[in-house]
Amino acid sequence: MKDVPAVNVDRGKIPFGERIYLGPILGGLRVTLRHFLRNVFGQRDVATIEYPEVKRQYSERLRGRHILTTNEQGEVRCVACYMCETACPADCITIVAEEDPTAAVDHEKRPLSFEIDLLRCVYCGYCVDACPKQAIIMSREHEMAFTTREEAVVGIDELRQKGPIDQEDLGYRPYF
Amino acid sequence: MRQPDGSSSMLTTRVDAMLGWVRKNSLWPLPFGTACCAIEFMSVVSAHYDLARFGAEVVRFSPRQADLMIVAGTITDKMAPAVKRIYDQMAEPKYVISMGACACTGGFYRAYHVVQGVDEFIPVDVYVPGCPPTPEALMHGIIKLQEMIQNGETKYDRLKHPEPDRTASAG
Amino acid sequence: MTVSSTQSLTERHPLADAFPGDGVETIGNDADGHTVLAVDRSHLLEILRQLRDDDRFRCDFLSDICGVDYPDRQQRFDVVYHLANLDSGERYRVKVAVDEDDAVLPSAYGVWKAADWFEREVWDMFGVRFEGHPNLKRILTHEAFHGHPLRKDYDPGQRWLLTEKDIMTPEWAREEQLDDQHMESQVLNLGPSHPATHGTLRTVLRLEGENIVKAESEIGYLHRCFEKMSETHGWQQVIPYTDRLNYCSSMINGVGYALAVENMLGIEAPPRAQVVRVILSELSRIMDHAVCLGANLVDLGALTNFWYFFQIREEIYGLLESCAGGRLTVSYARIGGLAHDVPADFEEQVRRLLDYIPPFVADVDKLITRNRIFRDRTEGIGVLSPEEAVAWGWTGPCLRACGVPYDVRKAHPYMGYEQYEFDVPVATTGDTYARYLVRMEEIRQSLRIIRQAIDNLPGGPVITDDHHVALPPKEKVYTEMESLIWHFKLIFEGIKVPPGDAYHFTEGANGELGYYIVSDGSGTPYRIKVRPPCFALYQAYPHILEGLLVPDAIAILGSLNIIAGELDR
């Protein structure tokens, strides 16, 4: 520990210029005044985002509300393999499986119900990582508010993609 | 402020509407910030999001001066009596926003020392999901609460003006 | 399912001669660079003293005390002490086993003051008593709690409710304790909900006028049971929990944990992942210092700086979000590397931040550093000598402000920190002002590291291709049977970490962030003990306060940067 390159940041005794308060105080006022004038006349430096009229542009990796993707026939791609349920640290996913009568092969499964408790969810994205079918992905929809806890438990109908996938507000998903 | 038959007079409707307008635009939040969500709450009040635009920048740590409690962060069993007490000390009308997974449901802490949702002991008006919610999500929750205050739909309003008993007035 | 606690020990160790008696049962070297001693309980105190005083060891620093429960073993509990000689960098682990029926150990408080709260935690979590401890009572759980939650037979969901009448005040703070001598004094309860406590800390003060004559801190208001939760989740699933330890700099925790597990697995993340981890960790350090300084200055009445610092934070959030998808709780590190590669414009974004941050730091510097009002309030306040600071187990910026240049990044380089040129900021006065100066300089040094790292960002993968550890790439999972099977096995069975134990530590934003991990070879951790830097910092706090004024208490608390998520876990 002796030969660590250290830089000493001690400032020692207060020099005269600082002891009379005035210099540093005026220097400080200059800083705040500069910010004030730049904000009033410049406008370009104003950091404030005028939500809800203006929205911050988040990246396409934002972990928001989940989407259950569908295939060409409009059925959810989920095969009820329980991988997302297993990977979820919050245990907020509940899947009930049934046999898929429309499948070409026997004993194919599909979800009878697929519920996510959006208030339990910690939006870590582990379900997306775990899914082997790209059936669950995340959207950028993060502005949510509920008035009851029951309202926050959403099923297949609320979660399934609404239109073509490229028209969804896509967030965290395997391909970028 | 309702007539005996359950309907409101024109005057009191106006007064209600004005009170709602006044209340919703001067929410003084008491941030009961305990954990990660409190840091996001700081973001909401700082330069980028600036909660002052909603008239809610007067952050008060004294329950007597606040009317909106934002529970931001995990509430543990050890903390629960303090939350309850502070809520009780707030002057009416009072509203509660539960911010983030932990405050709403306990989140992924299904554990021996964590309250599984603050609605175990205080009434919650708006639940904001996220872990932590983005600043936008919290502001969305606040806007939603403002609408609820304007329309008289909060838990406080329901307590004050329960749905009139139609069967009684019909007779 | 028994975990061998003394693996890889050699028969005859060079240090064996130092212990002529029969107190030391075994001595050896562990793979993680620790000298491991298994000690008999009856000789524990004398051996700990020898480790501190003997010139061959000179362990002036107690970093952690931790309990481990083995219900199948005859001697059910292990208590593990982690010691270090900060000068030479040598590390020691002392293990002592105790029976369940007679779970008593002598307290090490007389040897290192740092043992104070660590021993209370072991008592709270495991029910091992420490004889001679000055104040042995529950620390993390509440007064109405029954049982010891980290014992393996404790149900993770078993709650006990606390009501207001159960809440206890320390004996000395009760009104009936007022005697003639203390007639003038009063008790002030600071917290747990107080604007200056930043969340969830409570300190009970006895005041005479405005002078603090006695203080006691109560913690545990954010005890979210991280350690119990990690025992019920898979190795990879622990990462989102680590984010919420020190939530001001979540990336550092996740990286620290991933490194600790990688160390046990004997793997290393690819070079690109290492450099990205360094960049994001240093940015997280800047964010953490920004919150600490900003909040500390708000408490002292300087609000403007808070806005300036939060603008920095918001911009860093933007970068973290574009990498990981989360602003605050990133969950970006994975065991074996990173969750996925950084975005295409990563380099450009980092360079933009490197230009964006310094003006704001300079503004704060101009507002505060030479301001006499601030200096008068903070200079000479909350002073700790270097010896005391080490004895209390302090690390990080607070220790360096006392004049000890201990930084894990320099003393035990990891993740390639030895390649970067940076200085360790040190002050000698050990007061609140020094802690401010050290943090300001650390922000500049972190920027220096990032500048070097971004210039040398290598290409290549960001996660190991070992399919026992990392999920295979998605396109392979969709198309190849073999990858699908690996994927399936990893999700359902988890990573298999070889049985054994290891202590791995990194430099968190507040100091030495250690993970002591015990594995039994299954898909879930057997025990994870976090050594949170705040815990050691905060236990000295009530002792520093005695003799000071109430406003000083606020100034000192802010400068220590106590993050409740990490303190209480």
Interatomic CA distance for residues C492 and C154, integer angstroms:
25
**Domains of chain C: residue spans and CATH:** 7-131 (3.30.460.80), 226-568 (1.10.645.10)
Interface chains of chain C (3 or more CB pairs under 8 Å): A, B
Is pLDDT above 50 for A20? yes
| Rounded Cα gap, residues C250 and B39, in angstroms | 12
Nearest CB to A145 within list B108, B110, B141: B141
Average pLDDT over residues C394-423: 90
Q: Does C228 touch chain B if contact means CB atoms closer than 8 Å? A: yes
Question: Using CA of residue C552, residue C554, residue C559, residue C562, what is the dihedral sign?
Answer: positive
Q: Are residues A76 and A115 in the same domain?
A: yes
Distance, CA of B104 to CA of B128 (rounded, Å): 8
pLDDT surpasses 90 at C478:
no
Instruction: Mutate one of C348, C365, C491, C507 to test the A interface: name it (highest A CB count within 10 A).
Output: C491
For range B140-165, the mean pLDDT: 80
Q: Nearest-CA residue of chain B relative to C159?
A: B112
User: pLDDT band for position C181 (50/70/90)?
Assistant: low
Contacts of A123 in chain C (CB under 8 A): 326
- The residue type found at C538 is Y
Contact C246, B58 (CB under 8 A): no
- Mean pLDDT for the stretch of residues C42-47: 87
Sorting pLDDT into bands at 50, 70 and 90, what band is B169? Answer: very low
Q: Which domain holds residue A129?
A: 66-167
Q: Are residues A107 and A24 in the same domain?
A: no
Q: Are B125 and A147 in contact (CB under 8 A)?
A: yes
Look at residue C257 in the predicted model and tell me its pLDDT: 92
DSSP readout, A35-79? HHHIIIII-TT-----TTTS-----TT---SEEE-B-TTS-B---
- Do A126 and A162 lie in one domain? The reply is yes
- Which residue type does C434 have? A
Contact (Cβ atoms closer than 8 angstroms) between residue C262 and residue A146: no
CATH assignment of the domain containing A159: 3.30.70.3270
Is A21 domain-assigned? yes
Whether A53 maps to a domain, the answer reads no
pLDDT at C3: 40
Over residues A34-68, the pLDDT tens digits come to 888 888 887 666 778 888 888 888 888 899 999 99
CB contact under 8 A, C325 and A89: no
Whether C168 and chain B come into contact, CB under 8 Å, resolves to: no
ipTM of predicted assembly, 2 dp: 0.87
A173 located within any domain? no
Whether C200 has a pLDDT exceeding 90, the answer reads: no
Q: Tell me, yes or no, if B74 comes closer than 8 A to chain C by beta carbon.
A: yes
Residue B126: the pLDDT is 92
Assess whether pLDDT exceeds 50 at residue C378. yes
Closest residue in chain A to residue B144, using alpha carbons only: A145
Question: Is residue B3's pLDDT more than 70?
Answer: no
Tell me, yes or no, if C323 comes closer than 8 A to chain A by beta carbon: yes
Parallel, antiparallel or unpaired: strands A93-99 and A136-138:
unpaired
**b/e map C13-38, b = 16+ CB within 10 Å:** beeeebbeeebbbbbbebebebbbbb
Question: Per-residue pLDDT tens for A102-158?
Answer: 777 777 888 888 999 999 999 999 999 899 888 899 998 888 899 988 888 998 888
Tally Cβ neighbours within 10 Å of residue B171: 6
Identify whether residues A35 and A94 lie together within a single domain.
no
pTM for this structure?
Answer: 0.90
Write out residues 115-154 of B within 8 Å (CB-CB) of A.
117, 119, 125-131, 133-137, 139-141, 143-144, 148, 153
A59 part of a folded domain: no
The helix/strand/coil state of B40 is: helix
Inter-chain residue contact A122 with B47, CB threshold 8 Å: no
- Report CA-CA distances (Å) from C451 to A4, C8, C215, C448, C457: 21, 41, 44, 5, 10
Handedness of CA B9, B11, B17, B19 (dihedral sign): negative
* Number of helical H runs and strand E runs in chain A: 5, 6
- Total count of domains within chain A: 2
Q: How many CB atoms lie within 10 A of CB B162?
A: 8
Q: How far is CA C476 from CA A68, C341, C485, C515, in A?
A: 21, 17, 11, 34
* Mean pLDDT across B43-63: 84
Same domain, A94 and A147: yes
| CA nearest neighbour of C69 among C77, C59, C60 | C77
Residue A18: which of C233, C304, C372 has the nearest Cβ? C372
Residues A91 and A147 in one domain: yes
Lowest mean pLDDT among A167-176, C369-378, C438-447, C528-537: A167-176
Neighbours of chain A (3+ CB pairs under 8 A): B, C
Do residues A42 and A70 both lie within one domain? no
C145-158 pLDDT tens trace = 888 999 988 888 88
For residue A4, tell me if it sits in a domain. no
Contact A61 C366 (CB under 8 A): no
Nearest CA in chain A to C86: A1
Q: Are strands A93-99 and C511-519 parallel, antiparallel or unpaired?
A: unpaired
Q: In this model, does residue C196 exceed pLDDT 80?
A: no
User: Which chain B residues contact residue A148 at CB under 8 A?
Assistant: 127
The verdict on A83 and A142 lying in the same domain is yes
CB contact (8 A) between residue B73 and residue C307:
no
Q: What is the mean pLDDT of chain C?
A: 87
* Confidence category of residue A176, pLDDT binned at 50, 70, 90: low
Question: What pLDDT is stored for residue C65 in this prediction?
Answer: 92
Give yes or no: residues A160 and A73 share one domain. yes
Nearest to C529 by CA among C496, C565, C503: C503
Same domain, residue pair A21 and A98:
no
Residue B152 has a pLDDT of 80
| Residue A20 lies inside a defined structural domain of this protein | yes
On whether both A18 and A72 belong to a single domain, the answer is no
**A121 and A70 share a domain?**
yes
Is residue A117, in this structure, part of any structural domain at all?
yes
- DSSP reduced 3-state for C514: strand
- Contact between C410 and A4 using a beta-carbon 8 Å cutoff: yes
C-alpha to C-alpha distance for B169 and B5, rounded to whole angstroms: 6
Interface of A with B in 65-94 (CB under 8 A): 89-92
Q: Looking at residue B1, what is its pLDDT?
A: 47
**Interface membership of C327 toward B (CB under 8 Å):** yes
Residue C440's pLDDT band (boundaries 50, 70, 90)? very high
pLDDT at C286 over 90: yes
When CB atoms are compared, the residue of A4, A18, A87 closest to C405 is A4
In a domain, A2, yes or no: no
Search chain A and give the residue with CA nearest B108: A90
